[in-house]
Homo-oligomer: A and B are copies of this chain.
Amino acid sequence: MNEFDFIKKIRRLTQERAAAPDLVRGIGDDAAVVKSFLGSDVVVSTDLLVEDVDFRRDTTYANLLGHKTLAVSLSDIAAMGARPRWALLSVGVPNDVWESEFLERFYAGFFQLARRYSVGLIGGDVSRTPDKIVIDSIVIGECLSEHEIYRSGAEPGDQIFVTGFLGDASAGLRLIERGARLHSLAKRQSASSAEQEDETPIEHLLLRQLQPEPRVGWGLFLGDQQLATAMIDISDGLSSDLNHLCTESNVGALINAASIPIDPVVRELSGRRALDPLMLALHGGEDFELLFTVKPENAGKLPNRVDGVQVTRIGEITDVASGVNIVEGFRSWILEPAGWEHFKG
């Protein structure tokens, strides 16, 4: 198969599988065309994933990588309080990958998640690389004008919340680094996440790393209700992403360590493996939970759960002079950004 046949095949799949409302023209022309969003703003996110930096071919499966590729971009759109609508995917692969079933499985994982949120794949590019896989994921969303939630809107006194649990994904990564693998590939490929009830605690953490669930429902709720003053997704780690939010908002923060939601599974496995669950939760990246701030008078309006995902109050915004701090019992310290960086300074 040459790349033109491949593009034809993907085009057919997008027509069959991914409903794309308001799509004027998708894959197969020089560019994709979508209807303008009347009264809306257009929100665009891009994420570059590079083999042996962001993922390893021998520790994940192609379908999980396809899922994660879309998930990281959906998480960005959720963090704006916007609705994801369209996706574009640029993929570069070496010849041996081209000749394998990798791309077929990769796109299957991608489409499975895309269908769940009615996101249409409308374009992209495919290229050869000398030896590593590279993927660029672009997602376009929409948002009612002036309903976006930026990193920059937090004010002193606002309450700080996070969705879900923190530290799961980095606990999963540590397990992978120590040799843990997902064994049940066949099950993974056929089962939807709702059916994955019999996964072991270790599988659960591996999947939190390899198949993260973007908090699309929470993003839509917060954008719709205009309850959050600022929001960011936790991709680099709580310490780094909270510092990003505080820098953009020109505020400080005080986090209560005891209130950080840590998965009981992480606590249990950490004890046995000499890991510190709080450090995983503070500095571990790729949880793709949402971190957001809410005015005190609105905190009571938050539901306990959206799409089954809980939310937890972990602290409060302070003035910028106080800096970003964390309290644990009688100790308190400055919470330096210590999450993921591609390039050290």
Residues of A within 8 A of B (CB): 1-6, 24-25, 28-54, 75-77, 79-80, 82, 86, 88, 90-92, 95, 98, 122-132, 134, 136, 138-143, 145, 148, 150-152, 231-233, 244, 248, 341-345
Report whether A50 and B233 are in contact in the complex, using a CB–CB cutoff of 8 Å.
no
On chain B, the residues within 8 Å of A3 by CB distance are: 341-343
Subset of 21 A-B contacts with CB under 8 Å:
A2-B343, A3-B341, A3-B343, A4-B341, A24-B148, A30-B80, A31-B80, A32-B44, A33-B41, A33-B143, A33-B148, A35-B41, A36-B38, A36-B39, A44-B88, A48-B91, A50-B128, A53-B129, A54-B127, A88-B138, A128-B342
Report whether B127 and A6 are in contact in the complex, using a CB–CB cutoff of 8 Å.
no
Report whether B232 and A2 are in contact in the complex, using a CB–CB cutoff of 8 Å.
no
Which of B31, B52, B131, B248 is A79 in contact with, Cβ under 8 Å? B31
On chain B, the residues within 8 Å of A152 by CB distance are: 29
On chain B, the residues within 8 Å of A44 by CB distance are: 31-34, 86, 88, 122-123, 138, 140
Report whether A34 and B41 are in contact in the complex, using a CB–CB cutoff of 8 Å.
yes
On chain B, the residues within 8 Å of A132 by CB distance are: 129-132
Given the known interface contacts A36-B37, A41-B36, the answer about A341 and B2 at a Cβ–Cβ threshold of 8 Å is yes
Which of B33, B34, B41, B140 is A80 in contact with, Cβ under 8 Å? B33
Which residue in chain B gives the minimum CB-CB distance to A84? B31
Report whether A92 and B134 are in contact in the complex, using a CB–CB cutoff of 8 Å.
yes
Question: In the docked arrangement, what's the CA distance between A248 and B4, Å?
Answer: 12
Report whether B123 and A45 are in contact in the complex, using a CB–CB cutoff of 8 Å.
yes
Report whether A42 and B50 are in contact in the complex, using a CB–CB cutoff of 8 Å.
no
Report whether B122 and A29 are in contact in the complex, using a CB–CB cutoff of 8 Å.
no
On chain B, the residues within 8 Å of A54 by CB distance are: 127
Which of B29, B51, B151, B342 is A29 in contact with, Cβ under 8 Å? B151
On chain B, the residues within 8 Å of A35 by CB distance are: 41-42, 145
Given the known interface contacts A125-B136, A145-B36, A233-B30, the answer about A48 and B92 at a Cβ–Cβ threshold of 8 Å is yes
Report whether B25 and A129 are in contact in the complex, using a CB–CB cutoff of 8 Å.
no
Report whether B48 and A42 are in contact in the complex, using a CB–CB cutoff of 8 Å.
no
Report whether A90 and B46 are in contact in the complex, using a CB–CB cutoff of 8 Å.
yes
On chain B, the residues within 8 Å of A130 by CB distance are: 50-53, 132
Report whether A5 and B345 are in contact in the complex, using a CB–CB cutoff of 8 Å.
yes
Given contacts A46-B123, A130-B132, 13 further A-B contacts (CB under 8 A): A1-B345, A2-B341, A2-B343, A28-B248, A31-B139, A32-B43, A33-B43, A38-B38, A44-B138, A46-B90, A50-B92, A53-B128, A54-B127
